């Protein structure tokens, strides 16, 4: 396997992982912020704020978890 194909595989893996994270975040935040029966086609201000906060918290938790797992997997590397 060449360095280029290994790099390409890593890029594809990262894209897949981000798609999974985005999908999980979307499902979790929609479940939390959008009622199953809604009457308006547009988001209410409360729903929009809830989705914004939910997405921010989800990504913050994801980044912290990734950082912690990276530190556990590679204890000799400095944290970023």
Q: What is the pLDDT of residues 55-78, one digit of tens each?
A: 999 999 999 999 999 888 888 766
Contact between 43 and 56 under an 8 Å Cβ cutoff? The reply is no
> What contacts 29, CB < 8 A, 6 or more positions away?
50, 51, 54, 55, 58
What pLDDT is stored for residue 75 in this prediction?
Answer: 81
Given a cut of 90, whether residue 79 has pLDDT beyond it is no
The domains of the chain are located at 13-70
Mean local confidence (pLDDT), 12-36:
94
The sign of the torsion formed by the CA atoms of 52, 13, 10, 5 equals: negative
What pLDDT is stored for residue 42 in this prediction?
Answer: 92
pLDDT 10s digits, 31-40: 999 998 888 8
Query: 21-36: string of b/e by CB count within 10 Å (b at 16+)?
Result: eeeebeeebeeebeee
CATH architecture for segment(s) 13-70: Orthogonal Bundle (1.10)
pTM of the model: 0.73
């Amino acid at each position: 396997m060449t360095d280029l194909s290994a790099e390409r595989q890593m890029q594809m893996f990262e894209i897949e992982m981000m798609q999974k994270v985005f999908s999980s975040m979307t499902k979790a935040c929609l479940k939390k912020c959008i009622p199953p029966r809604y009457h308006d086609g547009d988001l209410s201000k409360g729903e929009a704020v809830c989705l914004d906060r939910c997405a921010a918290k989800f990504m913050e938790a994801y980044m912290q978890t990734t950082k912690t797992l990276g530190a556990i997997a590679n204890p000799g590397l400095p944290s970023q």
